[in-house]
Chains A and B, each alone.
Chain A
Amino acid sequence: MYLTLLNGTGYVFDVDDYMELRIKHRIVGALVGTANSKGWSSSEAALPVELTKCETQLLIDEGLAILVSKAASLMKSPTPEILQEYQEDFAARLKAQADSLKAEKLRETERHVEKILSGKRNKLLKQGKSDEAAALTSQSVIQEVANNFEFDHQNALVELPCPHLAKHTAQLWTEPICDRDSLKYRVFRDLWGRGKFVTCGDAFGADFLIYPGDPMLYHASHIVIIQSTPAIRPLELISKVRLSVIVNKSCVFAYEAADGKTIVYQTVAWCNPSK
């Protein structure tokens, strides 16, 4: 799977790729596209998906995706041959629609044939041609439409694809997207490796949120706060834990052990001894 380098991180434009990332690899990202839906609803999001820097780096490091730069390829002007090939291909795609559009037109005619029929009859009666009006059948109306159908390129349908559909090239991106040695990335990778959904925690003013299943269906179970030192200040402990208790989650402080290699987690949960 290829990720496109944009905004300094990985982007996904293909719906199959995204569903695979989400279902198989528990990577959620954020839908940043504007949905093409009627009513300009502000709640509906669409592809592309922007992955966080941690997510992009994780997918590269786990060998699940390849990050590529497409700027050079998609910004250069095409050679005359490629342009001609594209235009021929485009024209062929329009032309191929003639039959389908005709079939669609007939289907629509059939759907409204009663109305069309009565309209045509009234018109003929007004002109005093009652014989012709009586002879008119729905079959003949459909036949007439079929005979008169003319394919016009202006009516052909054009699709604006989301992923780039022409064959193109890209450059492998080898530079790291985020600092692999940073505590944040190591914590993210470690928690993800334990089989959980890990997302940004900014909704709760934290570093990460842990979900037992897909965030669409499950509430987060833990709020993760990254500490640069093992010592937690009392005010910070109180404010973070109070928040997590109110929203029915556990509070996890993550920090580096003294050896600088292992990550230590300290979980704080509500305790009610009377129960």
Chain B
Amino acid sequence: MSGAQENTIEIYPKTQYLTASELVAQRHPEVESPRNGLKRTSFEGSAEENEELKNTYANLRLQLSARRIERQAGRAIAIWSDDQQAAEVVRKDGKFESFGYSQQGKLYLEYYEALFLLELNRLQLEYCGLIVSIEQAYVLLLGEEASEKYNNYFVYSALTRAGYIVVRHQEGYRTASSDVVTKDDCIWALLDASLSNKPVPLHIKVSQFYNATFERMVQLKQQIKNQCSEASTDEISINNEPNAFKFDTRKRRAQSEPEEELASKRASTTGRSLIDALKDEASYRKFQQTFEKLDIVRLQSEDYHCDVDSTIRTFKITFDLHLHNDGFRRSAPKTPTFSVIILQHDEPFPTHIEMLHCQRQQMRAEERAPLLVISVSESKHIQAFLYYIS
């Protein structure tokens, strides 16, 4: 942006809008992708070669000259909003099953969806009352700075044309799809928020249980810190003894220990052991009851040592891929077929541990899809690698 501001240039486009008769004539372009014969290995400058070159260029020009013409009532219309970085659909045309997202009763298109439909001549995008050109759309939607948006759009376009339903990556399908938010959902969302710094989703926040759960967790946290149970309503506290969790560190006699100490050795081996004796302690019973209330979850071995290493990079899952014949519904998406990670130019592929880390971001194991790692090369070739982690 810091380029010289004084160097303003007036641009008078060379191309004009088509005239009425040209519009009618070019409305249905019949462009076949040029079929060139075998490539040559050296330049010989023969007449035949020149002719071939001329034809090839003519075909390319024809292919690239295809216009985007449609009846005024024949396209969907959307309005681009700079603030929201999304296009609000104001007139639908055709099926929008796998495009856009709804928010407060309005349908919005993501930048890549809007640009894709625009380039396919299915959408008329408007900005400040003007119908935008493709060039303006690139400036508005993708921006002039080098950005991952370009690769995202490129990959989105290629995968969508290849027949996949491509949607922005979503987490927590089950909660998002079911309308009923339970107390458990609130607890999980809050845990997620405090442990992995994920924001609490909106649909959880508006739940009737949310505030109660939130306060309850703050209380519990306090109690765990203070190691005492002041609140009599506390489920964990069994009685109202204030010092119940304090250990008695003094040396003391077992209550069952008989008076004559000499005989005690034999007595202890035959009768009750010292450990058993301790089991009668009030504090022991309290711990036992407390632990019975806890769900002890065994961590998988892969869960260790992941978070400690600060050299691992975090990879973001950009898209989820669904198949067309899987009964995809925008309102209730199922587990995707693949999750897509897009590498930026020259970015090294993720290591095994980085893969695991990335997959673990998806909360529930059964919703983790195989990762499809896509790299876009400088010459705009897409290479995709599917990773299965065993």
Contact = CB atoms under 8 A, between A and B. Distances in A.
Interface of A: 2, 4-9, 11, 13-16, 18-19, 22-23, 30-37, 40-44, 46-48, 50, 52, 66, 68-71, 74-75, 77-78, 83, 86-87, 90, 93-94, 96-97, 99-101, 103-104, 153-175, 199-200, 202-203, 212-214, 216-219, 221, 248
Given A41-B33, A154-B73, A160-B134, A171 B15 contact: no
B56 A214 contact: yes
B65 interface: yes
Chain B residues touching A, majority SS? loop
Given A5-B144, A48-B135, A66 B13 contact: no
A46 B66 contact: yes
Given A6-B139, A42-B162, A96-B20, A216 B134 contact: no
Contact of B42 (A48, A165, A173, A212): A212
A155 B74 CA distance: 8
Best-surrounded residue of B19, B72, B135 (most CB of chain A within 10 A): B135
Contacts of A173: 3
A160 B56 contact: no
Interface string B122-136: 001000111101111
Interface stretch (B96-104, B197-205, B378-386): B378-386
A211 to B, nearest CB: 9
B4 interface: yes
Contact of A174 (B7, B43, B115): B7
Contacts of B67: 159, 161
A44 B14 contact: no
Nearest to A18: B64
Closest 8 pairs between A and B when the two form their complex, measured CB to CB? A8-B146, A172-B7, A100-B20, A30-B380, A154-B73, A34-B119, A200-B379, A77-B128
B144 A163 contact: no
B13 A7 contact: no
Contacts of A94: 72
A9 B146 contact: yes
Contacts of B40: 213, 217-219
A6 B14 contact: no
A162 B134 contact: yes
B165 interface: no
Nearest to B53: A217
B9 A83 contact: no
Contact of A157 (B27, B60, B140): B27
A163 B15 contact: yes
Contacts of B133: 160-165
B249 interface: no
Given A48-B138, A157-B71, A202 B378 contact: yes
B60 A216 contact: yes
A195 to B, nearest CB: 10
A154 to B, nearest CB: 4
B145 A158 contact: no
B278 interface: no
Contacts of B4: 171-172, 174
Given A83-B129, A100-B24, 15 more contacts: A7-B147, A35-B66, A36-B66, A36-B68, A42-B162, A46-B66, A70-B144, A100-B23, A153-B72, A164-B135, A167-B11, A171-B9, A202-B378, A217-B40, A218-B41
B20 A71 contact: no
Given A160-B134, A162-B134, A203-B381, A7 B71 contact: no
